[in-house]
Chains A and B, each alone.
Chain A
Amino acid sequence: MSVPLALPRWADLVLLPAVCLAVALAVAAGVVALVGQSPPEVMVALVHGAFGTLRGLSYTLYYATTFIFTGLAVAVAFHGGLFNIGGEGQAVMGGLGTGLAALYLSASLPAWAMLPIMLIAGMLFGMLWASVPAYLQAYRGSHVVITTIMFNFIASSILVYLLVNHLRPKGNMALESALFAPSAKLPGMQQALAWLGVEWPASPLNLSLVLALMACVAVYLFLWRSRAGYRLRAVGSSASAAQYAGINAKHQTLIAMAVSGALAGMVGMNEIAGVSGKLILEFVGGAGFTGIAVALMGRNHPVGILFASLLFGALFQGGAEVAFDVPGFSRDMVVMLQGLIVLFSGAMTYVIAPLVAGGLRLLPGVSGARRG
Chain B
Amino acid sequence: MALCDFVTVMRAGQVVQELPIAAATMESLAEAMVGRKVQMGRLDGDVHQAGEVLLSAQELELCDALQVLRLSNVSLELRAGEIVGIAGVSGNGQSELLDVLSGLLAPSKGELTICGQVFTPAYWLDPQTARKLGLAHVPEDRHARALVMDFCAWESAVLGYESLPSFSRGPWMRIDAMHQATVDMMERFDVRPRDTALLSSKFSGGNQQKLVLARELGQTPKVLLVGQPTRGVDIGAIEFIYSQLRAMRDAGCAVLLVSSELDEILALSDRVIVMNQGRIAGELDIADCTEAGLGLLMTGASQ
Contacts and interface: CB of A to CB of B under 8 A. Distances in A.
A244 B160 CA distance: 8
B231 to A, nearest CB: 16
Given A243-B127, A244-B104, A234 B171 contact: no
B163 A238 contact: no
A246 B103 CA distance: 9
A242 B172 contact: no
A142 interface: no
B246 interface: no
Nearest to A237: B150
B160 A245 contact: yes
Interface stretch (B74-82, B141-149, B286-294): B141-149
Interface stretch (A30-38, A181-189, A224-232): A224-232
B131 interface: yes
A6 to B, nearest CB: 11
A237 B149 CA distance: 8
Contacts of B141: 240
A3 to B, nearest CB: 14
B151 A234 contact: yes
Given A225-B175, A227-B168, A238 B160 contact: no
B171 A238 contact: no
A372 interface: yes
Contact of B162 (A225, A230, A240): A230
Chain B interface extent, by class: 20 to 34
B183 interface: no
Contacts of B149: 237-238
B262 interface: no
Contacts of B202: 371-372
Contacts of B168: 227
Interface residues of A, number: 19
Contact of B145 (A227, A237, A244, A372): A244
A241 interface: yes
Contacts of A231: 162
Contacts of B198: 371-372
A241 B144 contact: yes
B138 to A, nearest CB: 10
A241 B148 contact: yes
Contacts of A228: 171
A243 B146 CA distance: 10
A237 B173 contact: no
Contacts of A227: 162-163, 168, 171-173
Nearest to A241: B148
A246 B171 contact: no
Nearest to A222: B171
A233 interface: yes
B49 interface: no
B199 A238 contact: no
Contacts of B130: 246
Given A227-B173, A228-B171, A245 B144 contact: no
Contacts of B175: 225
A238 B148 contact: yes
Contact of B171 (A226, A237, A244, A371): A226
Interface in B154-204: 155, 159-160, 162-163, 168, 171-173, 175, 193, 195, 198-199, 202
Contact of B127 (A226, A245, A371): A245
Contact of B146 (A226, A234, A241, A246): A241
A132 to B, nearest CB: 26
A283 B58 CA distance: 63
B172 A244 contact: no
B128 interface: yes
A82 to B, nearest CB: 16
- Kindly name the residue among A230, A242, A243 whose own CB sees the greatest number of chain B CB atoms within 10 A: A230
Nearest to A236: B150
A12 to B, nearest CB: 12
Interface string A314-352: 000000000000000000000000000000000000000
Contact of B159 (A226, A241, A371, A372): A241
A226 B173 contact: yes
Nearest to A239: B144
A244 B151 contact: no
A241 B145 contact: yes
B126 interface: yes
B148 A237 contact: yes
B137 interface: yes
B142 to A, nearest CB: 9
Nearest to B175: A225
A238 B145 CA distance: 8
A245 B155 CA distance: 12
The 8 A-B pairs at the shortest CB distance, nearest first, are namely A246-B127, A246-B128, A372-B202, A245-B160, A237-B150, A244-B145, A240-B144, A238-B148
Interface of A: 225-228, 230-231, 233-234, 237-238, 240-246, 371-372
20 contacts: A225-B175, A227-B163, A227-B168, A227-B171, A230-B173, A231-B162, A238-B149, A241-B146, A241-B147, A241-B159, A242-B148, A243-B127, A244-B104, A244-B159, A245-B127, A246-B130, A246-B131, A372-B193, A372-B195, A372-B198
Given A244-B146, A245-B162, A372-B202, 5 more contacts: A244-B104, A244-B139, A245-B127, A246-B129, A371-B202
